[in-house]
Amino acid sequence: MNNIPWIPLAVVAGVAAVVALIGYVIWQSGKPGEDANAAAIAAEADSSTTLPGEWVNLPEIYGGAYGDDAKHVERAVDYETDCTDDGTTCNSNPPVGGNHWGSAACPRDPDDATPFCGPPPWGIYREVWPAESLVHGMEHGGVVVWYNTDNTQVRDEIEDIIKPMLDRGDLLIMAPYEDMADNTIAVTAWSRIDKFSVTDYSKDRVEEFIGAHKRRFNPEDI
């Protein structure tokens, strides 16, 4: 008579599952650092000259593969003085990333905003939002259109571009920004800026930037 003890099938299945899991972990650990490689590849692609706008080297300024070592802070941020130690690389005006506010999500009305809130709800504003709040929107994969102009025709046309995009759920904010030269428009995403005078404005220019950079990546949740 066979004296081999009987083993329940559930136990056998459980052991097999554990062995398979261990084998998978060993296989994964033997592979090269794919996450690190993917981050390096994506960061290099971020600087591509084929993308609309000028690239700002946020990794050099703030650290991280995407400049994502920037932090939530509860203080005013002077983005134009955010530079590398040797001063050769600085953030832009308006900024395209960096330390920013995030104590709580902002309400729709800036007048009701709590201190250091961010980001504001996606939308079109005629009121000024602090840059520190808007940078948080870019960290979530959004695009910001900043304007400092009395040219209502251009402003209204840009609003007409953005309204249907917002209706589709695109992550966009348009707001006035008084800390750049008069009659200037800037369109920004995390690490990218296209800044131009009102005389150089075109609908295609704004649409191309938004189309290329909306949700291109989300540095807060890479």
**What are the tens digits of pLDDT across the range 72-105?**
999 999 999 999 999 999 999 999 999 999 999 9
Ramachandran angles phi, psi of 72, nearest 5°: -75, 130
The verdict on 39 and 108 lying in the same domain is no
The verdict on 93 and 72 lying in the same domain is yes
Residue 22 lies in a domain: yes
pLDDT band, residue 52 (cuts 50/70/90): very high
The verdict on 81 and 179 lying in the same domain is yes
Neighbours of 21 (CB within 10 A): 10
Residue 143 lies in a domain: yes
Number of domains composing the chain: 2
The verdict on 141 and 42 lying in the same domain is no
Tokens 């025709």 belong to: 153
The verdict on 27 and 62 lying in the same domain is no
The verdict on 99 and 170 lying in the same domain is yes
The verdict on 135 and 84 lying in the same domain is yes
Domain span including residue 139: 52-221
The verdict on 17 and 111 lying in the same domain is no
pLDDT band, residue 44 (cuts 50/70/90): confident
Residue 1 lies in a domain: no
Q: 72-76, 169-173, 212-216: which range is least confident on average?
A: 212-216
Residue type, 81: T
How confident is the model over 141-163, as a mean pLDDT?
Answer: 97
Residue 2 lies in a domain: no
